[in-house]
Structure 1
Amino acid sequence: MPKVTVGDIDINYKIQGQGETLLMIVGLSFSLLDWGIKLPDLLSQHYKVILFDNRDAGETSCSPYPYSLAQMASDAAGLLDAIGEPKAHVFGVSMGGMIAQYFALDHADKLNKLILGCTMAGGSCSQTGDIGSFFGDDLLKLLFTTDFIRHNQADLDLFLQATKPYHSTGEALLRQLNAMSSHDTCNAVGKIVAPTLVITGDRDRVIPPENSAFLAQNIPNAQQEIIKDAAHAFSFSHPLATATTIINFLEP
């Protein structure tokens, strides 16, 4: 996959499909591989889908210094500039959804429509879930429902085996965690002007659905969709429902 220099890092990215640009921002420690195959394939039938690794993850450079989620949003905006994309729809999940909020606030001129998945505003207005054990041996149990794991155990084990080597570790992971720990848009989300869709799984243990409700209620004219029987990684476990919801929202 190609890389492009943005500021002080080289960003690893992938483009598939044609049409309006849809930039997808992944969550804490994950790489672009963690989107899986199904959802990007479904979306790329309608849009030019851009996947990329955040700084300190995947095959993007490690950061030479601490940073904020706002800086990570600037990385995303810089990526668009570097590859000649003036504007994009933006879909961020989990920490990627937090980054997407700063993209909407700080780079509104580059944003068409905003999609926030399984994320929160942080600060005192949010309810944290089981983030603390996110890096234990039970990662699959945090990301998916028990039923989904039972019916897909072998495939999930293979997927995790393939993607885990690209997850953030050590100081790189610590820098991402520190950036996320200061996230607070409680009083800022009301300034988001882009049309916004908020999506969550109804059985999310990591970032409880109440957080999506807050975002939907406080971002002007935002829409909310709840994926039934889905946990934190709803975009992977329910790709068709996720793609359909996104396409319906993005269609003019």
Structure 2
Amino acid sequence: MQLTINRIDTRYVLDNEGGGPWLVFIHQLAGDLSVWDQMAGYFRHGFTVLRYDLRGHGESGVSPDSFTIDDLADDLAQLLDKLGAPSAHVVGLSIGGMVAQKLAINHADKVESLTVVGAPAFIPEDARPTFARRAASVRERGTASIVEATLERWLTPEFRKAHPEVVEQIGDTIARTPAEGFARAAAAVSRFDARDALPSVKKRTLVVAGQHDVGTPHAASKLVADAVPGARFELLNAAHLSPVEESQRFSALVAGFLRDST
């Protein structure tokens, strides 16, 4: 299904067999809503589960202009409005975790609880050129050129060896991501900084990190938990995509957190 959000055609999938509280999953950079397929299957009987493709990802349109993480949070707020959701439990992975933080900061009325997965509180200044280089490389050579290196960062060697079919699907999603969509989103990530506003977040917050995440070290994720009053921090035996590698532990962790939040 598609809706036009802030002039961008946006794909979303709604699973509402349970007709319960709204639960939104936001995917990673160079990903799409399919990364949450397993979680949607788990939670759809007790929640109204919303997944969607960020601008320039999956089947959503590419933004003609540059944008910020705040703009992506505005996109989600408007999507919730158009779907008639008064508020939602929000789970975001990687760039999705940054969007989730900004939604809780800028649109607090839309957030019932906040789960931030594999995302920092800010991008250090010395790391910003890395995103600029990736964007430039992808614009020149396409997203297929970053598949191998990205998978090595996202998933542990043990998981990649044991689950080649999952690795192939995630690699295909990376390769299908429009180059300009990736580049504009990478630029937005490079400018992300929520440190000053996180102490104002009053929603129940869970922060999940991967013990082997080299892209977003767990110490960087812990800064989110340290900044949000009363936030809980959990470390899983995974790299960047902990909801994929540790799907059972992740779903149990989120389910327990959501039970306490509803």
Name the amino acid aligned to 2:240. Answer: H
Give the TM-score taking structure 1 as reference length: 0.90
Deviations 1:22-51 (A, max 9, x none): 01111112111233x322211223221100
Q: Is the 8 A contact 1:127 1:211 kept in 2?
A: no
Q: Does 1:191 align with 2:191?
A: no
Q: Does 1:34 align with 2:35?
A: yes
**Residue 222 of structure 2 is aligned to residue 223 of structure 1:** no
State the alpha-carbon separation in 1 of the partners of residues 114 and 127 from structure 2.
22
Give SS of 2:192's match: coil
Once residues 242 and 9 of structure 1 are traced to their aligned partners in structure 2, the CA distance between those partners, rounded to angstroms, is 31
Give 1:162 shift. 4.5
CA distance in 2, matches of 1:126, 1:104: 27
Q: Distance in 2 between matches of 1:213 and 1:152?
A: 29
**Structure-1 separation of matches of 2:157 and 2:67:** 36
Deviation at 1:173, TM superposition (A): 1.6
Q: How many residues align?
A: 246
Deviation for aligned residue 1:20? 0.9
Partner of 1:140: 151
Structure 2 runs not aligned, ≥5 long? 135-144
Percent of paired sites with the same residue: 28
Amino acid at match of 2:118: C
Q: Distance in 2 between matches of 1:162 and 1:123?
A: 27
| Partner amino acid, structure 1, of 2:22 | T
After the TM superposition, which segments of 4 or more aligned residues of structure 1 sit over 4 Å from their partners?
A: 123-128, 130-134
Q: CA deviation at 1:71?
A: 0.4
Gaps of 5+ in 1: none
Which residue number corresponds to residue 14 of structure 2? Answer: 15
C-alpha separation in 2, matches of 1:70 and 1:83: 20
Letter in 2 for 1:214: L
The whole-number CA distance in structure 2 between the counterparts of 1:23 and 1:235 is 14
Deviation at 1:168, TM superposition (A): 3.4
**1:10, CA displacement in angstroms?**
1.6
Give how far 1:140 is off. Answer: 2.0
Asked if 2 retains the 8 angstrom alpha-carbon contact of 1:30 and 1:168, the reply is no
**Contact conserved, 1:121 with 1:185, CA < 8 A, in 2?**
yes
Residue identity in the other structure for 1:251: R
1:204 is paired with a residue whose SS is coil
Contact 1:6 1:75 in 2 (8 A): yes
Contact 1:20–1:88 (Cα < 8 Å) also in 2: yes
Q: What secondary structure does 2:148 align onto? A: coil
The answer as to whether partners of 1:206 and 1:232 remain within 8 angstroms in 2 is: yes
What do the CA deviations read for 1:71-125 (whole angstroms, capped 9, x no partner)?
0000001100111111101000101101111100000011100000000011449
- From the superposition, tell whether residues 222 and 160 of structure 1 become closer, same or farther in structure 2 (CA, over 3 Å): closer
Q: Deviations over 1:206-248 (max 9, x none)?
A: 1000012111111111011111x21101111111111110110
